[in-house]
Amino acid sequence: MHARRVIWFALALLALVLGVPGAWAQEEPIVLRVWDQFTDPNEDEGMEMMIAAFEEANPNITIERDVMIFTDMQTVLPTALASGTGPDIFYYGGGAGWLGPLVQAGLVMPLEDAYEAQGWDHIYEWTKRDSRFGDHVYGIGNELEFLGVYYNMDIFEELELEVPMTYEEFTAVCDSLLEAGYIPIAFADGDGWPAYHQFSIFANNLAGKEKIEAALFGEGRWDDPEFVEAIQLFFVDMNQAGYFIPDTTAVSYDDGNAVFWNGMAAMHMTGTWLIGDTMNNTEANIGWFFFPPSTAATCCRPVGWGRCTSCPPRPSIPTRPLPSWTTCLTRSTPKYGWRP
């Protein structure tokens, strides 16, 4: 579901912040605590296989791993870090809303030394944006995700529908699906967060890159006409047209996924993180397209930077040289099927 490359970056980072990579004398046992969100079965299996390979090569080091969903980590991580009972490395959301408060509280370590020591100059500068606060970078960015429209190709073929190229064509497709007895869009906002993804799709579509950036950095206004129209089109017009799951705010995101996978809904507007789960949970032929532009001159495809790997400033294990996680795990990546 998510990009896989973060795993070995995370473990390389841990080696660096705790000491200089090199040969490790077989001395006292060490336990490294890692918190991540790789709950997907495929990702979990890959992570466990790579950890097993590392532990076999370094028998005095044990990885103590805790896996949890993101919402649980939001609740637990700040308190655990503040009390000194948290992980030695954690995989968490970037940006001012998630990583930012931890940085402000002094709970995250700056990573410039790690970037320099490991020679991570191949990591794109823009991946540091949401983990950069002031003059420091506090994470290794990962998960470049796109928002778009999954669609059931079998239903489209049954009704002789084409992938829409304009907003008007999109609503016409929705009308045809509704008439045929299908839910046009599997929008389910019981968890709250899917709504801002839909707003992002329409705001990028109508306002464009420059206005989006101006609003995000405090130089523009969220009540500009384009943003108001973005809210009107999706949350008012399309809702009133009956394009969504009934009582959509009472339906969880997971249940909305199931409505799409079982063929009750013909389209699902969400992110590329759902590709793996979709492949595993439906036998239907599924396609994907970007939401069609309303105004071609301003349309900007919605893409977001995801989560990052970070460390607390005072790891609980000895700051002594550890073996190079990078060497072990980058060589393991192809073997265990984790894709960069």
Helix (H) or strand (E) holding 258: helix 253-261
Residue with tokens 């801002």: 196
Nearest to 329 by CA among 26, 61, 147, 57: 57
Asked whether residue 104 falls in the same domain as residue 204, the answer is: no
Asked whether residue 129 falls in the same domain as residue 32, the answer is: yes
Predicted TM-score (pTM) of this structure = 0.71
Asked whether residue 11 falls in the same domain as residue 119, the answer is: yes
Q: Is 1 within a domain?
A: no
45-61 confidence digits (pLDDT tens): 878 887 888 788 778 88
- Residue 19: CATH number of its domain: 3.40.190.10
Nearest to 208 by CA among 191, 188, 224, 185: 224
Q: What are phi and psi of 265, to 5 degrees?
A: -110, 145
CA pair distance 23, 169, nearest whole angstrom: 62
Q: Is 193 within a domain?
A: yes
Asked whether residue 160 falls in the same domain as residue 92, the answer is: no
Q: Is 340 within a domain?
A: no
**Exposure of 152 in the CB half-sphere (CA atoms within 13 A):** 27
Asked whether residue 153 falls in the same domain as residue 85, the answer is: no
Q: Is 16 within a domain?
A: yes
C-alpha distances in Å from residue 227, one per residue of 201, 213, 296: 11, 13, 16
Asked whether residue 79 falls in the same domain as residue 154, the answer is: no
Q: Is 66 within a domain?
A: yes
Helix (H) or strand (E) holding 73: helix 70-83
pLDDT at 27: 66
Q: Is 238 within a domain?
A: yes
Q: Is 84 within a domain?
A: yes
pLDDT at 125: 80
Range of the domain at 75: 6-143+306-335
Asked whether residue 285 falls in the same domain as residue 186, the answer is: yes
Spans of the chain below 70 pLDDT: 1-27, 295-299, 305, 314-340
Asked whether residue 53 falls in the same domain as residue 152, the answer is: no
pLDDT at 15: 52
CA pair distance 126, 130, nearest whole angstrom: 8
Look up residue 200 and give its two tokens.
């992002």
Query: For the chain, what is the domain count?
Result: 2
Structural contact between residues 284 and 214, judged by C-beta atoms closer than 8 angstroms: no
Asked whether residue 132 falls in the same domain as residue 157, the answer is: no
Asked whether residue 161 falls in the same domain as residue 294, the answer is: yes
Asked whether residue 95 falls in the same domain as residue 172, the answer is: no
pLDDT at 339: 36
Asked whether residue 26 falls in the same domain as residue 136, the answer is: yes
**Cα dihedral sign for 248, 252, 254, 259?**
negative
CA pair distance 186, 258, nearest whole angstrom: 9
Q: Where do the DSSP E strands lie in the chain?
A: 30-36, 61-67, 89-93, 132-133, 136-137, 140-141, 144-152, 183-185, 265-271, 286-289, 303-305, 307-310
What are the start-end ranges of the H helices in 106-244? Answer: 112-118, 153-158, 167-179, 194-216, 225-231, 239-240
DSSP classification of residue 212:
H
Residue 288 CB-density burial (10 A; 0-12 exposed, 13-18 middle, 19+ buried): middle
Q: Is 324 within a domain?
A: yes
pLDDT at 298: 62
Distance of CA 170 to the CA centre of its chain: 27
Structural contact between residues 203 and 221, judged by C-beta atoms closer than 8 angstroms: no
